[in-house]
Structure 1
Amino acid sequence: MVQFCVRRDSALSAGEAWRRLTLWERHGDVVPLTRITVVAGAAAEGGVGTVFVARSGVGALAFDDPMEVVLWRPPVGGRAGVCRLVKRGSLVTGWAEIEVRSGVGGGSRVVWREELRVRGVPRIFDSLVGWVARWVFGRAVRRLLARP
């Protein structure tokens, strides 16, 4: 099991940062070799019960990473927004939590926390898995916040 945290500050408002980070299909634009499909719930509104699948890899080496939104509290009136996802796959399990709050000068601060387990990968590789995950998700958050 790997736990990691990514923090990013943005010039975007908390509401706009939230919107960009929770448009699930866009994650496929910024995570290499990944396509996102929303399979249940209202994609435009997000919300508890929304289920989407990240299909990552190439050909026979691809796998599905289904996730369900179990907590959905958008940022409103200075209150931080929090979205919690549970990974329900057979290969990758765990959870992710996205927190978006107002930052300095009208911008926002994003905190992405995740606990990740990859079945079949020995614990001795947790440090490597954590490093790769932190890099991939840090890059994804940065690109999601930067793209128009």
Structure 2
Amino acid sequence: MATVVLRRDVPAPAGRVWQVATDWPRHGASVPFTHVVVTHDAGGTGTRFTGRTRLGPWTVDDPMEVVLWRPPADADTDQPGLPGRCVVEKRGRVVLGWAALDVLPLGPRRCRMVWTEDVEIAPAAWTGWAAPAVRLASRAVFGALLRRLAQDAVQEHVSSRGDGS
């Protein structure tokens, strides 16, 4: 498997970041050539969605299911709340593995997102051969995704406050 771990500190509350980062269709706006559709909204564990990536005549569906859903507990004080964790299993014919999103409150208006992606390409024998390329592509794609999600969360937090602070 090809594993990538990315971290990003965000100047917004963990709850807001969680809402933005687990808005699955929003991911399609940041992942190139990809559109994300929720196929079953269970409001957490059991939610299923598919990322469809299209490059010219080639299309790859990446169906996923949320298997763990624990939103963060925001702190109303300077003490951090409890971290949030979401784990998604990839259930496709070509792309397998899992992804985890951890949102760690660092105070009432700051948090850290940690994205861990563990990808296997079917057939499994291809994963070892393709791992370096998959890691490189994953770093670029998911790094851009985290930047975009962080920007969106900060913008939404500022907008909700109305005072720009």
Give the TM-score taking structure 2 as reference length.
0.83
State, as a whole percentage, how many aligned pairs show the same letter: 41
Residues 1-148 of structure 1 mapped to structure 2, 5 A cutoff: 1-42=1-42, 46-77=43-74, 78-103=81-106, 106-120=109-123, 121-147=126-152, 148=155
Work out whether residues 13 and 109 of structure 2, in 8 Å CA contact, stay in contact via their aligned partners in 1: yes
1:43-65 CA-partner distances (Å, limit 9, x unpaired): xxx30100000000235311100
Letter in 2 for 1:136: V
4+ runs of 1 displaced by more than 4 Å?
Answer: none
Alignment: residue pair count = 145
Structure 2 segments unaligned to the other structure (5+ residues) = 75-80, 156-165
Deviation at 1:113, TM superposition (A): 0.7
Letter in 2 for 1:80: P
What RMSD, in angstroms, separates the aligned Cα atoms of the two structures?
A: 1.5
Q: Per the alignment, in what secondary structure is the counterpart of residue 46 of structure 2?
A: strand
Q: Per the alignment, in what secondary structure is the counterpart of residue 140 of structure 1?
A: helix
Q: Which of these two proteins has the greater Rg computed from alpha carbons? A: 2
Work out whether residues 14 and 103 of structure 2, in 8 Å CA contact, stay in contact via their aligned partners in 1: yes
Letter in 1 for 2:94: L
Counterpart-to-counterpart distance in 1, 2:127 and 2:88: 24
